[in-house]
A = this chain, B = another copy of it.
């Protein structure tokens, strides 16, 4: 089943928002062994929307649209798609019922026939929206299926979950098992992995399926798309791939096999090993803690953090010596270690990680220019350590990269603990 995605929204092309729905759709489809074939983002303009539908239906049996279903005049999707299929807007009793239900969720009353939501192109079927006001809709013609959902990611996601499988059931081939086999590596540039480190790796992997290489934050994800006709065949292929990677010189750089994020992996390991941790965050300003607490179940091992942006917070809340800062600099291994030690003691943690650095654009010293950071570590058993990083990027990228380095350090340390 080929699926095209039409993102309707000038706001995406104007940079007012980033499109999050492609990822939501892709994630949903992957769980059902499906994928997006192509995605097109267009402005709120009838002619352009119609050309987009035309293009996508040329190559795809199913077209999902997001956006333009709201109550305001720039929301053209419904009329335009009706027009595309040469269907006129008519009063739709089912749409009224669904709108009433959508409104009730927010303790509001649907105005009824006077409201645009009561109308749909002839033959279109309205779809309930469990997280918003606007109904979605679907339409089938010959072997083509159209699905239109709102653009707000929360609503897009819930409608996808509520309706997609049922509406496309006839098209889903459940015989072929697809799996993205993902190996996540750190600290070796893509350039080197397939160059001097393991020049034959790509060729070896290719015999199992399409290979991809994706540089992410301070690491590279290597992917192989596996196809199999049975769970057993799939598992055998996975095992063979694991063997290839474990024998490759890049093996020490692999921190995970699977699609889990770094923060998810950390919580898995920490919860399994019953170890507690927290951060003393200066340069990352809360990003490490935010990433960790985005994982459900994080409260079991993440106890808390101190965000010590101001020097006095480092001194008063973490017990860093003012002399250490004055002698060695606020960004220095010495300060980082005292921050981690202070946090470890204050919160009685198994692992305390600290980050002090210059994210720019201003600040920095000759020895520690913008892009420098020190990651400190203090364990309950008294172990202390610090490393210094010198990275590139703007403020946002540096925050991301500093946090990535801090989380890599945390994971390495967690892996060393025995299971309890």
Residues of A within 8 A of B (CB): 10-20, 22-27, 29-30, 35-44, 48, 52, 55, 70-74, 106, 111, 131, 133, 152-154, 157, 180, 182, 189-191, 194-195, 202, 206, 210-216, 221, 223, 278-279, 281, 284-290, 292-294, 296, 298-299, 302-310, 312-313, 316-317, 346-347, 359-362, 392-397, 399
Taking a contact as CB atoms under 8 Å apart, the answer to whether A42 and B48 are in contact is: no
- From known contacts A18-B20, A313-B303, infer whether A70 and B286 are also in contact, taking CB-CB under 8 Å: no
CA separation between A129 and B74, bound complex, in Å?
39
Taking a contact as CB atoms under 8 Å apart, the answer to whether B19 and A294 are in contact is: no
Top 5 A-B pairs, shortest CB-CB distance: A285-B293, A15-B26, A286-B289, A286-B286, A304-B313
- From known contacts A22-B15, A213-B74, infer whether A285 and B294 are also in contact, taking CB-CB under 8 Å: yes
How far in angstroms is the closest Cβ of chain B from A92? 19
- From known contacts A212-B44, A307-B289, infer whether A191 and B133 are also in contact, taking CB-CB under 8 Å: yes
Taking a contact as CB atoms under 8 Å apart, the answer to whether A194 and B16 are in contact is: no
How far in angstroms is the closest Cβ of chain B from A184? 11
CB contacts (< 8 Å) of A285 on chain B: these are: 289-290, 292-294, 298, 302
Taking a contact as CB atoms under 8 Å apart, the answer to whether B299 and A11 are in contact is: no
The CB with the most chain B CB atoms within 10 A, among A17, A211, A221, A362, is that of: A17
CB contacts (< 8 Å) of A12 on chain B: these are: 22-23, 26, 39
Taking a contact as CB atoms under 8 Å apart, the answer to whether B71 and A190 are in contact is: yes
CB contacts (< 8 Å) of A190 on chain B: these are: 70-72
Taking a contact as CB atoms under 8 Å apart, the answer to whether B36 and A39 are in contact is: no
CA separation between A154 and B391, bound complex, in Å?
12
How far in angstroms is the closest Cβ of chain B from A167? 20
Tell me which of B35, B191, B292, B308 contacts A14 (CB under 8 A).
B35
* Dominant secondary structure of chain A at its interface with chain B: mixed
How far in angstroms is the closest Cβ of chain B from A192? 9
CB contacts (< 8 Å) of A26 on chain B: these are: 12-16
CB contacts (< 8 Å) of A399 on chain B: these are: 290, 293-294
How far in angstroms is the closest Cβ of chain B from A37? 7
A-B contacts, 23 of them at CB < 8 A, read A10-B210, A11-B214, A12-B22, A13-B37, A13-B38, A15-B22, A16-B182, A16-B214, A17-B216, A38-B42, A40-B41, A55-B55, A73-B211, A284-B293, A286-B307, A287-B293, A289-B290, A290-B290, A293-B309, A303-B309, A304-B307, A304-B313, A317-B346
The CB with the most chain B CB atoms within 10 A, among A279, A309, A359, is that of: A309
The CB with the most chain B CB atoms within 10 A, among A25, A214, A287, A288, is that of: A214
CA separation between A288 and B285, bound complex, in Å?
9
Taking a contact as CB atoms under 8 Å apart, the answer to whether A73 and B202 are in contact is: yes
CB contacts (< 8 Å) of A74 on chain B: these are: 210-213
CB contacts (< 8 Å) of A194 on chain B: these are: 71-72
CB contacts (< 8 Å) of A308 on chain B: these are: 304
CA separation between A47 and B359, bound complex, in Å?
42
Assuming A11-B212, A38-B42, A285-B302, what are 8 further A-B pairs, CB within 8 angstroms?
A15-B29, A15-B30, A133-B189, A285-B294, A293-B399, A294-B395, A296-B362, A316-B346
- From known contacts A211-B73, A211-B74, infer whether A37 and B44 are also in contact, taking CB-CB under 8 Å: no
CB contacts (< 8 Å) of A298 on chain B: these are: 285, 309
- From known contacts A38-B48, A317-B304, A362-B296, infer whether A10 and B287 are also in contact, taking CB-CB under 8 Å: no
CB contacts (< 8 Å) of A292 on chain B: these are: 285-286
Taking a contact as CB atoms under 8 Å apart, the answer to whether B286 and A202 are in contact is: no
Taking a contact as CB atoms under 8 Å apart, the answer to whether A396 and B294 are in contact is: yes
A13, closest chain B residue (CB):
B36
How far in angstroms is the closest Cβ of chain B from A284? 8
CA separation between A347 and B309, bound complex, in Å?
11
Taking a contact as CB atoms under 8 Å apart, the answer to whether B152 and A215 are in contact is: yes
CB contacts (< 8 Å) of A305 on chain B: these are: 286, 306-307
Taking a contact as CB atoms under 8 Å apart, the answer to whether A14 and B290 are in contact is: no
Taking a contact as CB atoms under 8 Å apart, the answer to whether B397 and A154 are in contact is: yes
